[in-house]
Structure 1
Amino acid sequence: MNIETQDIMSKWKLYTLLNDNGMKVSFLNFGGIITDISVPNRNNQLENVVLGYKNYDDYEENTKFFGAIIGRVAGRIQDSSFTILDQTYSMEANEGGHHLHGGNGGFHQVIWQASPFQTDETIGVKLTHRSLDGEGGYPGTIEVAVTYTLTNNNELILDYSGTSDKTTVLTMTNHSYFNLNGNLTDTIHNHHVTIESDEFVELDAELIPTGKKINVANTPFDFRTGRKLVDGIHSTTTQNRVANHGYDHYFILNQTQQQHISVKEETSGRVMTIKTNQPGVVMYTSNTLDEGLNLAEGQSKPYLGVCFETQASPVSLHHDGFPSVFLKANELYEKQTVFSFGVEG
């Protein structure tokens, strides 16, 4: 196992984790952006399974959030405001009238302090950041950490932690776009996905959660026994059409001891499983991904990747009965998501 470090554009560092199987994970200290995850296919050929820019300077803006840490709050905050203890806080409206993914100065846009580590079984880097009271409109000075750990079982473990000196809101995630074909040789239409979820959250025309939970039964949102993403991409149901012909929805995860999510790609044989202690996941099938962005393996287009944004939900700021993003003063925020890679056949 090995950790490599490279200076990028005289201002960032690129860390590359290599395990004994040849699996590779590369990420920047800028935004914690994962730029490459290379894992074998059934013929033991290593290929990259996440979307990333060809040129590092394109991450400076990164309006599509490729590979980045998202915070303080992942998702859309309705009307760019919320209330805590009878005090209303307003933040930047960076998507119409709403606040998306922490705003333009969110965690995806900061340089994190990085501390590499190695044990007998793992290698990784702990990223830390201090966000001051009032930054982005959020209350509380908050200390956050995100640790990327690679094991010899081809597991990438993401550990999130944080504390605030005031009651505030926090739900972090990673915004990697996965494509298990490898090196972007095809779209994600035929990715077969299983999600342990009985309910998803309805969206309005501006992709804001309405506060209504919908049972997945007899809909293209029923992934409990697995289905291909093409089912929702080609669906004419209102919720798939609202999401620009695909998925951009929050699934409330069933609290079981099983792997919460699995993704299989038949041609390559790659399988990715996701286990998390987060209460839900936003699955986004890159329905609105711009065409023509210069990616490492070619030009971007819609449906080239699928995101699994494990998180609580900002819908809880305006509606009762949803996984909360509130964090009390001096309370520890502690979450984990594990991405495991293997092959079938």
Structure 2
Amino acid sequence: MFNLQNDTQYFGATVGRVANRIGGAQFTLNGIHYKLIANEGNNALHGNHNSGNILNQVVQIFASEFTPFDDQLIPTGNFSSVKGTLNDFLKPQVVGSRINQLSKTNGYNVNYVLDKNHVRDITVHMPNHDHNEITVADIVMDKRSGRVMKIATNQPGLQFYTANYVKNDKGKDGFVYQPRSALCLETQAFPDSVNHPNFPSTIVTTEKPYKHIVFFKFSTDPPRGFS
């Protein structure tokens, strides 16, 4: 493990149910044989931070608009349609298909205005929440592993970032990370909302407490349009 106290890149250290090794990087479950990525000799250790880049991953973001920004990445206060832009992920898109055209930011670093839609498959087991305030934000698929992640939230925005400014940063087992080695999908209020009255308010009061809900659903079933 690397020293999280001195980590300036906020790399995650979340470990799943197997916080050690799986021999031969493979196992059989319910008659199905699974092969993992061997990252310590022939074995799988902890998981894998060194898994290449994210250029072949497929992303769909349920947002028809985004908040344009100035040279300091501060929103202008306006809203722009994603149609006809490099930010259009309404249909599934391979991340690397257009990323090199984003010379201004060296990749994606944009806040999306999430469309209102209702989601049931993630929140059906959460009866204490109002399903109508939860919206599907995005779906991501890693074609190499077949893993699919769906995110739903009650927040109005989603920041999509492709590690554009990561350079020669050391992570677990001494692996050195470079730009586009990871992606971030951050459910959020719009950046700089406090300075834009037309943005959803982020002011917290006793009548309006802060409540941030986010659901993650993982599967190996490719959604429509991803396979």
Return the alpha-carbon distance in structure 2 between the equivalents of residues 252 and 204 of structure 1.
Answer: 17
Amino acid at match of 1:291: N
CA distance in 1, matches of 2:164, 2:157: 20
2:221 maps to 1:344: yes
Of 89, 100, 103, the match for 1:241: 103
| Aligned residue among 56, 61, 67 for 2:12 | 67
For 1:304 and 1:337, the matched residues in 2 are separated by 24
Partner of 1:335: 212
Counterparts of 1:266-305 in structure 2, within 5 Å, are 266-296=143-173, 298-305=175-182
- For structure 2, the residue ranges without an aligned partner over 5 or more in a row are 14-46, 120-135, 223-227
Q: Secondary structure at the match of 2:213?
A: strand
Matched position secondary structure for 2:150: strand
Residue 64 of structure 2: aligned partner: 198
Task: Give the TM-score normalised by the residue count of structure 2.
Answer: 0.69
Letter in 2 for 1:197: A
The residue identity in structure 2 corresponding to 1:344 is D
Letter in 2 for 1:225: K
- 1:295 Cα deviation from its structure 2 partner: 2.6
User: How much does 1:329 deviate?
Assistant: 4.0
Equivalent AA in structure 2 for residue 304 of structure 1: S
The amino acid across from 1:266 in the alignment is K
Q: How does 1:26-41 map to 2 (within 5 A)?
A: none
The residue identity in structure 1 corresponding to 2:7 is N
Amino acid at match of 1:184: N
What is the Cα-based RMSD across aligned positions, in Å?
2.3
CA distance in 2, matches of 1:254, 1:194: 12
2:80 matched to 1:254? no
> Could you tell which deviates more after superposition, 218-227 or 310-319?
310-319
Distance in 1 (CA, whole Å) between partners of 2:201 and 2:139 is 25
Q: How many residue pairs end up in the alignment?
A: 174
SS in 1 for 2:7: coil
Post-superposition CA distance 1:95-137 (Å, at most 9, x none): xxxxxxxxxxxxxxxxxxxxxxxxxxxxxxxxxxxxxxxxxxx
User: Structure 1 residue 215: deviation in Å?
Assistant: 0.4
**Which residue matches 1:113?**
none
What is the TM-score normalised by the length of structure 1?
A: 0.47
Say whether the 8 Å CA contact 1:184–1:297 is kept in structure 2. Answer: no
Extract unaligned runs of 5+ from structure 1: 1-53, 69-180
Residue of structure 2 in register with 1:101 after alignment: none
Taking the aligned partners of 1:262 and 1:285, their CA distance within structure 2 comes to 15
Question: Any idea what the Cα deviations from partners look like across 1:127-171, whole Å, max 9, x if unmatched?
Answer: xxxxxxxxxxxxxxxxxxxxxxxxxxxxxxxxxxxxxxxxxxxxx
Q: 1:330 offset after TM fit, Å?
A: 5.9
User: Does structure 1 retain, via aligned residues, the 8 Å contact 2:66–2:82?
Assistant: yes
Look up the SS of the partner of 2:88 in the other structure.
coil
1:214 to 70, 73, 80: 80
SS of the counterpart of 1:317?
Answer: helix
Aligned-partner Cα distance in 1 for 2:71–2:48: 33
How far residue 296 of structure 1 moved from its aligned partner, in angstroms, is: 4.5
Runs of 4+ in 1 over 4 A off after TM superposition: none
Whether the 8 Å CA contact 1:221–1:232 is kept in 2: the answer is no
State whether residues 286 and 305 of structure 1, in contact with CA within 8 Å, keep that contact through their aligned partners in structure 2.
yes
Deviations 1:275-332 (A, max 9, x none): 1111111111001012141334722111111111101123222223212211124642
Q: CA separation in 1, counterparts of 2:104 and 2:171? A: 28
- What one-letter code is carried by the residue in structure 1 that aligns with 2:112? F
Q: Which residues of 2 match residues 1-345 of structure 1 at below 5 A?
A: 54-55=1-2, 57=3, 59-67=4-12, 183-235=49-101, 240-243=102-105, 245-258=106-119, 259-296=136-173, 298-329=175-206, 331-344=208-221
Cα distance in 2 for partners of 1:284, 1:277 equals 20
* CA contact 2:151–2:216 (8 Å) conserved in 1: yes
Is the contact between residue 74 and residue 191 of structure 2 (CA under 8 Å) also seen in structure 1? Answer: no
What corresponds to 2:130 in structure 1?
none
SS in 2 for 1:190: coil
CA contact (8 A) 2:54 2:182 kept: yes
Which structure carries more strand by proportion? 1
Q: Percent identity?
A: 31
Partners of 2:104 and 2:206 lie apart in 1 by: 37
